[in-house]
A and B are shown apart, each in its own frame.
Chain A
Amino acid sequence: MNECKEILQELAAYYYRELSGTESARVEAHLETCKDCWQELNLIKKTLNGADAFNPEIAAALASVDWDTLPDKIADRVLIHNEENVPRSWSRFWSSLFRPQFRPVYAALLLGIAMGAVLTFFVLRSPQEIQLAADGIFVPAGVMESMDVEVARRKTLDYLEKSQYLLLEFLQAEPDRAADFWRSDFAAQETRGLLSQKRYIDSQLNKYQMAKAKAICDQIEFLFLELTQLSQEISEAELERVRNLIQERQLFLKINIIRQELERSEV
């Protein structure tokens, strides 16, 4: 019975001659010995012959169409309709972009973008670049230091120049008005400015080991401190002595030498 079941499944294929030689021979061998399967084949044959009754209608339907002119009609409708209504070149352009043969190109592009992103990430992560991003400009450490030295040099020169003018004013003042000079607002304002400027250049002169400039600046500072603090009580004789001291010690000459040195060492 199992064989009958198998053969029944094959009967339609047998009718349509779709079985291989071996399969066909097996079915035929079974049919020769099995009345039920033979009758089943007979029924299938009758049914499918009945299906053939539909053929004349199909043949008439086929004959009712003018096949010679149909391709032209369809071409008119399809091609003209599409040219009018579909932006054909664009639709074809977009569909051509996604053709399978372009896949390697897209893959390479994606890979390139990914690699670029990774490299950018690592480069941006380096400390030097972070510094750059924070400051907005990139300046090497050596240049920064030389700029610093240059600023200290100029500040010192400025300090020395202003001090020289102030001391010159003092020296050129009439002996009886020397005390008044140090009590004047001009002298007080100038010395205050110079003393605060000295505080800034002190740190710079120490840092860059400008010893000679530091020594002369200290002397000037000391002198100004003394003169401003004692100007209320100081006598004219004492002021005269200070003036002589400035001249004796050739303070102006020393200041000039240091200024020249500083000017020569311009960065």
Chain B
Amino acid sequence: MMKTKYTAGFDKPVEEAAHGSHVNTSQVIQKVTEHADVYPLVQKVGTGDREAFKTLTSLYQRKIYLLAYSFFRNRDDALDIVQETFLRLYQKADMYKEGHSFQNWLLQIAKNLCIDYYRKHYRHEGETNRDKPVEELNLTSDDPSLRPDSLGLNDAFAECLEKLTERQRMIFVMKHYNQLKYKEIAQILDIAVGTVKSLNFKATQNLKILMGPYVGERP
């Protein structure tokens, strides 16, 4: 029996349809590549060298801000995280080991700060909902904040993102907005690549359910 090829409804070839056009943020942020000479700079930062500190800050500040902003959706909090991350860099410069990815090391610091900051300042808001599985949330409630027509799509998405668990949210943000590879996320979070893949899959599934009403699908 011949298998049917389901391509109807897509005006692009399968691969093109799948790999959606990517975020404009990649055009906005300065793409940071790993510098071979980053280690001497980190060493200089350890001795209090201001120029080295400024160079590293200017290279990685946007990456950290992007991670923090997409996590908190708050400019001031994100800037606090940026400053705090570079303070930690200065304090812990001699703990950075040559040969390791400096960007991942720095993002690991930023990630920890984000989680701590979030638990300290944000946790109480909507805590009860976050503890429930996504399927149990009343997505058709009369809560005005959840009505598809009452929010812009970005606000709606931010609301949905906040309903994910800390870990799923962090991984989704790193993957989707910071455009990090699964391998890099695994290094930053110090977990297996398979776990990252699985958690990102769960995050996507949950977002699919939560975003259903906003993107014209049933939850």
Contact = CB atoms under 8 A, between A and B. Distances in A.
B209 to A, nearest CB: 9
A48 B69 contact: no
A33 B19 contact: no
Interface string A8-45: 11011111111000000000100111110010011111
A140 interface: no
Given A9-B198, A32-B14, A62-B28, A53 B90 contact: no
Contacts of B86: 74, 78
Interface residues of A, number: 59
Given A35-B6, A59-B24, A53 B29 contact: no
Interface stretch (A63-71, A110-118, A161-169, A250-258): A63-71
A266 interface: no
User: Chain A's interface: helix, strand, loop or mixed, by majority?
Assistant: helix
A17 to B, nearest CB: 6
Contacts of B75: 61, 64-65
Interface in A49-107: 49-59, 61-65, 67-68, 70-72, 74-75, 77-79, 81-83, 88, 92, 95-96, 99
A47 B208 contact: yes
A46 interface: yes
Chain B interface size, under 10 / 10 to 19 / 20 to 34 / 35 or more: 35 or more
B154 A62 contact: no
Interface in B1-46: 3-7, 9-10, 14-15, 17-20, 22-25, 28-29, 46
The 8 A-B residue pairs with the shortest CB-CB distance in the complex, in nearest-first order: A53-B153, A71-B57, A33-B3, A71-B54, A47-B208, A53-B154, A12-B204, A71-B58
Interface of B: 3-7, 9-10, 14-15, 17-20, 22-25, 28-29, 46, 48, 50, 53-55, 57-58, 61-62, 65-66, 69-70, 73, 75, 78-79, 82-83, 86-87, 90-91, 94, 152-154, 156-158, 161, 172, 175-177, 181-182, 197-198, 200-201, 204, 207-208, 211, 214-217
